[in-house]
Amino acid sequence: MKKIAVLLYTLIFIIGSAYASPIDMEYNDGIYHFVLSGNKIKKQISFISSQNLITNKEAHLNSGSLLTINAGFFDPNNQKTISYIVNNSQTVEDPIFNENMMINPVLRRNMQKILNRTEFRILDCDSKLKYEIAQHNASVDFMCTIVTSGQGGPQLLPNLRLEEEFFIAKDKEGNIVRESASVLHKTPRTLIGIKTLPKGDQQVHIFIVTNEHPMDIFEARDLCKQYELDTAMAFDGGSSTSLNYKKINVISTQDSGDTGRALKSFMIVKP
């Protein structure tokens, strides 16, 4: 009888583990926190873009995604990207072809900083998938290739890279004379980070910081520290911050009846 009970318990545990959701979500004080666990889900994540700007909900429905969040920066005037996007190992969005960036003298002088902003990657390393957060120009390990990636910035952990990625600029006296993406102001934010577990497994942590709890970039970094993430970065934020998951539809635009800002690129988790 005891052996049968142990066998039933083991069977229930195995079945429960097989059907355990790889996406866990909690909501607290205006912040949605998602944890993506397990190896299988690594094959379900990709970064996509749209030729014309569309809302996060449209991208969610068009792709049949389980979870969709906003990703890279873009120019709403010409609908072209400011961030690199890679899908199926091919660069599908390249900011070099955004002429508005090239004709702007301030951006042109700081182009290398902008092009080398931080990105979230999924790497195929000899048929084993792994997550990585790194600057765009950072090389990958031997036997690894980038399957999909989405660029944003700035890097939050292990070090905050505001000047290095041209989110702030200072004069010779050290005074801040330029700010991008409202990094110094409280605003909604989309954050993503990686946590390595004791046995070497990786988790992805996503934070959707809504209008109910806006943060500056230092508070965003501290939030990622609180969850002991190894590396973390921001995607586009402010009015771009968007989320679709099950019946949850989060937008950060303020107009009544608004369906959300039209965006360029997205991170999706397919079924």
Give residue-wise pLDDT tens across range 133-147.
999 999 999 999 999
Residue 21 has a pLDDT of 76
H/E stretch holding 262 reads: none
Helix, strand or coil, per DSSP, at residue 149 = strand
pLDDT computed for residue 193 by the predictor: 98
pLDDT digits (tens, 9 = 90+) for 237-266: 999 999 999 999 999 986 656 789 999 999
CA distances from 24 to 12, 248, 249 (A): 21, 14, 17
pLDDT of residue 258: 79
Q: How large a percentage of the chain has pLDDT more than 70?
A: 91
Nearest to 68 by CA among 259, 250, 244, 235: 244
pLDDT of res. 261: 95
For the cut 60, the answer to whether the pLDDT of residue 3 exceeds it is: no
Q: Is residue 268 pLDDT above 80, yes or no?
A: yes
Tokens standing for residue 163:
């000047």
Q: What is the pLDDT of residues 67-109, one digit of tens each?
A: 999 999 999 999 999 999 999 999 999 999 999 999 999 999 9
Decide: residue 262, CB within 10 A, 0-12 exposed, 13-18 middle, 19+ buried: middle
Q: Is 30 exposed, middle or buried (0-12, 13-18, 19+ CB in 10 A)?
A: middle
Q: pLDDT per residue over 27-70, tens digit each?
A: 999 999 999 999 999 999 999 999 999 999 999 999 999 999 99
Mean pLDDT of the chain: 93
Write down the pLDDT at residue 17.
42
Specify the pTM: 0.92
**Stretch 214-232: mean pLDDT:** 98
Domain boundaries of the chain, sorted by first residue = 22-269
